[in-house]
A and B are shown apart, each in its own frame.
Chain A
Amino acid sequence: MEIDFVIEKFILVTAIFAISLLIAMYSTYAERKVAAFLQDRLGPDRAGPFGILQPLADGVKMFMKEEVIPANANKWLFMFGPGLAMLCACIGTAVIPWGQDMMIGDRLVKLQVADINVGLLYIFGVIALGVYGVMIGGWASNNKYSLLSAIRAASQNISYEIAMGLSIIALLLVTNSLSLREIVAQQHGWHWNVLYQPLGFIIFMVCAFAETNRAPFDLPECEAELNGGYTIEYSSMKLGFYLFAEYINMFVSSTIMAALYFGGYNYPGMDYMAELLGPTWAPLFGTLIFFLKIFGFIFFFMWVRWTIPRFRYDQLMNLGWKGLIPLAIANIIITGIVIAIVNKF
């Protein structure tokens, strides 16, 4: 282990961490703006030009609030919950390949923190862990609303993880690899996986909405029935962590969808651009394209949230178990048959 390797990774980790926090921060602003535009309003426009300082003002407000821990709450778990939610949200980006290998001077830099050969499984595990933050927080609050919300979150995530895993299996049949680096590299140019797995993509996307607790699957935090759900007893920055973790999760989900199905840093005409820009700037341009795709997905998340009303709980379960899981299994079978035929002839 050379020292420059450590420095390189340290810089990369710091940059990715900072970028994902920044994007999550401005997602809160973007969410309010998108909501406003979709409803013929203006949205926040008082803090700074176009309200661009609004996330800072919100953050300061969160920090300044009084911190309340209910008397009958389990104090340690109560504090552990938001931390776990935040941790799980932040570590998901570690295996994402952000760009092609980049030449800086005569050094080849991988734009990926950890190139592990089961990157997809890692992400799947991290997403599955994410619900524990909600569950622990909801249970430790010692409040019936938050407990109900935690139960809802747990059952919802478990139900949709099955369909999500099945949709990924169909993807694996196409890619023959669990390594995210390889999956993205295979989608060179316009060979994006969404063209081979459109149904799988739709299933994956619906499940991603459910896993991030976003509308129309935001049952764990619905205001009307559960008074805000698992966040009901939380105040100050602990609440801020939960809300923030949701936006980081949204960013991570968008990243994964863009990487798995929409080609990551690949774009049509990338070979031409690689010759034009050289080995240093062409990968960065690919990263830029990647982020544009991610922002597109984040916008899509928000667009959906401000369009579709929340599912009822039984509708949610019906859709998950009777709709998505059979569809995902059918998708696997069809994909398998097609691949078998293609390989035979």
Chain B
Amino acid sequence: MESLSNKKKVLVSKPLNLAERLYLPAIASGMATTIGHFFKKPATIKYPEQVREFSINWRGMHSLKRDEQGRERCTACGLCALSCPAEAITMIAAERKNDEKHLYREEKYASVYEINMLRCIFCGLCEEACPKEAIYLDGPIVPADYLRKDFIYGKDKLVEAPLEVK
């Protein structure tokens, strides 16, 4: 049948000609290719000593951010938990006391904030949903562990280290 798209290619397998039957020309060109690679720089990264750099849009372990004064930005609105397609985030909200103003930026904060790293799919939707710019997936690879309970990361692992006050 005639080809309508005009893209059809008819392949014919011809018998090998003399040069192809001798194998030697093809072998020589193959060997030239491989010896070219002999002098190329290896692509290997020696892992434990060298670590490959993450790309700029890499999404790794979450971190809960602080503002310029070192106060936690999270206001426990729950949008991240709501947006999470894997149901990995839970939190318990609490009201800020008067003497905690230097710790939390908003009047409401998360007293418990947990992410189950086994559920998390690192899609970054929590990052997009957050109105307070409080959560970012800018960490390294989540490390391996032995027990399921150890993959539930609380605030102790997620909150950024406090700012150094000089």
Chain A interfacial positions (CB closer than 8 Å to B): 34, 36-42, 45, 202, 303-304, 306-308, 319, 323
8 residue pairs A–B, Cβ–Cβ below 8 Å: A38-B34, A40-B44, A42-B42, A42-B46, A303-B31, A304-B31, A306-B34, A307-B27
Chain B residue numbers with a CB within 8 Å of A39 are 37
Q: Are A41 and B31 in contact (CB under 8 A)?
A: no
Instruction: Give the nearest-CB partner of B32 in chain A.
Output: A307
> Of B33, B35, B43, which is within 8 A of A40 by CB?
B43
Give B21-36 interface residues, CB cut-off 8 Å to A. 21-24, 27, 30-31, 33-35
Q: Are B38 and A319 in contact (CB under 8 A)?
A: no
CA distance A42 to B27 in the complex (A): 25
CA distance A303 to B38 in the complex (A): 10
Chain B interfacial positions (CB closer than 8 Å to A): 21-24, 27, 30-31, 33-35, 37-38, 40-44, 46
CA distance A308 to B31 in the complex (A): 8
> Of A45, A202, A307, A323, which is within 8 A of B31 by CB?
A307
Q: Are B42 and A36 in contact (CB under 8 A)?
A: yes
Instruction: Give the nearest-CB partner of B21 in chain A.
Output: A323
Chain A residue numbers with a CB within 8 Å of B38 are 34, 37-38
Q: Are A307 and B30 in contact (CB under 8 A)?
A: yes
- Taking A36-B42, A39-B37, A307-B30 as given, write out 12 further A-B residue pairs in contact, using a Cβ cutoff of 8 Å, ordered by the A residue number: A34-B38, A37-B42, A38-B35, A40-B41, A41-B42, A41-B43, A202-B24, A303-B34, A303-B35, A306-B34, A307-B31, A323-B21
CA distance A41 to B41 in the complex (A): 8
Instruction: Give the nearest-CB partner of B22 in chain A.
Output: A323
Within the complex, the shortest CB–CB distance from A314 to chain B, in Å, comes to: 14
CA distance A306 to B38 in the complex (A): 11
CA distance A34 to B42 in the complex (A): 12
- Return the 5 tightest CB-CB contacts between A and B, nearest first: A42-B44, A307-B34, A38-B34, A307-B30, A42-B42
Instruction: Give the nearest-CB partner of B33 in chain A.
Output: A307
Chain A residue numbers with a CB within 8 Å of B43 are 40-41
Chain A residue numbers with a CB within 8 Å of B24 are 202
Q: Are A41 and B44 in contact (CB under 8 A)?
A: yes
CA distance A215 to B43 in the complex (A): 25
Q: Are A40 and B31 in contact (CB under 8 A)?
A: no
CA distance A308 to B27 in the complex (A): 7
Chain B residue numbers with a CB within 8 Å of A45 are 46
Assess A40 versus B34: contact at CB under 8 Å? Given A307-B27, A319-B23.
no
Chain B residue numbers with a CB within 8 Å of A304 are 27, 31
